[in-house]
């Protein structure tokens, strides 16, 4: 997913399975001034409130800039250990049995940091969850995130397919993943 310097979000309209793991690589962003959030959404509606990640009840995301976790309208304290920089890969693990989302960061320098449980208040089934990227800084240059779901992460869809993105907040500058 590539953002051309405007605000927006992209949701992959696939339903994640009960136990799912996927990676999101922050390929391009400004170090120590990142403008990207990574996580999951409970909607694929392009008119939803996902762009308002700080107050949205529809998203559970990690803000790369300061390591804050926003989950269903509430937030954690900033954390240097949870900051994500260009070249870092975040491996998310979803456990619908515990309604939790956890993460590990595979740093661009080769180190690995466990972020632990980011959210233990995910909505229970039948609510669906979808991978989500939010770009919130409109004055910065281009940003890019690569999303790599594992085959087991997808419910009934082969991992080798290209997925159409649901684009929100009036951003028409995204490329597919």
User: How does pLDDT run across 104-128, given as a tens digit for each residue?
Assistant: 999 989 999 999 999 998 988 878 8
pLDDT for the residue numbered 152:
46
pLDDT at 54 (0 to 100) = 83
| DSSP assignment of 26-52 | EEE--TTS--EEEEEES---TTSSTT-
93 Cβ contact list (under 8 Å, min separation 6): 19, 20, 21, 101, 102, 103, 104
In three-state secondary structure terms, 64 is: coil
Residue 88 token pair: 């870092």
Report pTM.
Answer: 0.81
Peptide bond into 161 cis (omega under 30): no
112 and 106 in contact (C-beta within 8 Å)? yes
**Cα–Cα distance between 86 and 16 in angstroms, integer?**
25
pLDDT at 163: 46
């Amino acid at each position: 997913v590539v953002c051309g310097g405007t605000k927006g979000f992209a949701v992959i309209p696939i339903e994640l399975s009960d136990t799912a793991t996927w990676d999101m690589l922050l390929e391009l962003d400004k170090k120590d001034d990142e403008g990207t959030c990574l996580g999951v959404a409970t909607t694929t509606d392009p008119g939803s409130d996902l762009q308002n990640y700080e107050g949205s009840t529809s998203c559970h995301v990690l803000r790369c800039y300061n390591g804050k976790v926003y989950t269903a309208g509430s937030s954690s304290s900033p954390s240097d250990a949870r900051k994500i920089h260009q070249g870092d890969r975040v491996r998310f693990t979803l456990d619908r049995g515990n309604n939790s989302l956890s993460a590990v960061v595979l740093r661009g320098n080769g180190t690995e940091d466990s972020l632990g449980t980011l959210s233990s208040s995910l909505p229970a089934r039948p609510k669906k969850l979808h991978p989500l990227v939010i770009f919130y800084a409109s004055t910065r240059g281009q940003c890019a995130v690569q999303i790599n779901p594992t085959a087991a992460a997808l419910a009934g869809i082969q991992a080798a397919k290209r997925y159409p993105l649901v684009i929100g907040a009036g951003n028409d500058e995204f490329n597919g993943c």
